[in-house]
Structure 1
Amino acid sequence: MDDLNAMLEPGMRVRHPDRPDWGIGQVQSNIGGRITVNFPDTGKVVIDGSRVALMPVFES
């Protein structure tokens, strides 16, 4: 899982695979496998990249 999350950079849009109700979030930071994502309705969430593989969203 780390390999997929390692490519995530601030500004990228992602979905949480287990929480589709959170919608599309924007990566704020990715430091040491801890990824901070700002979701529209949920707010900022810090995700352990070794446990969750976030899904990049490329459509506009």
Structure 2
Amino acid sequence: MIGVNDILSPGMIVAHPDRPDWGDGQVQSSIGSRITVNFREAGKQVIDGDRVALQLLSAD
């Protein structure tokens, strides 16, 4: 089954389901299960896509 993390690419806007305080974030890169996101309130974070299913807010 393909999850949202499998289709993430730079520029997409996402949210962390367990950290709403981080605000929305823009995907910077997605390499394997490592997704680098620049969040509005938390800055650059590297997310383990095997552990966290990010929420896609916008594909623009």
Could you tell me which runs of 5 or more consecutive residues in structure 1 were left unpaired when the two chains were aligned.
none
Is the CA contact 1:2–1:33 (under 8 Å) kept in the aligned structure 2? no
**TM-score, normalised by the number of residues in structure 2:** 0.89
Q: Tell me the secondary structure at the aligned position of residue 50 of structure 1.
A: coil
How many residue pairs get aligned? The number is 59
Confirm or deny: 8 A CA contact 2:25 2:38 kept in the other structure. Answer: yes
Partner of 1:5: 5
Find the aligned partners of 1:11 and 1:31 in 2 and give their Cα distance.
14
Percent of counterpart pairs with the same letter? 66
Q: CA RMSD in A?
A: 1.9
Consecutive aligned runs of 4 or more in structure 1 exceeding 6 Å deviation: none
TM-fit CA distance, 1:2: 6.4
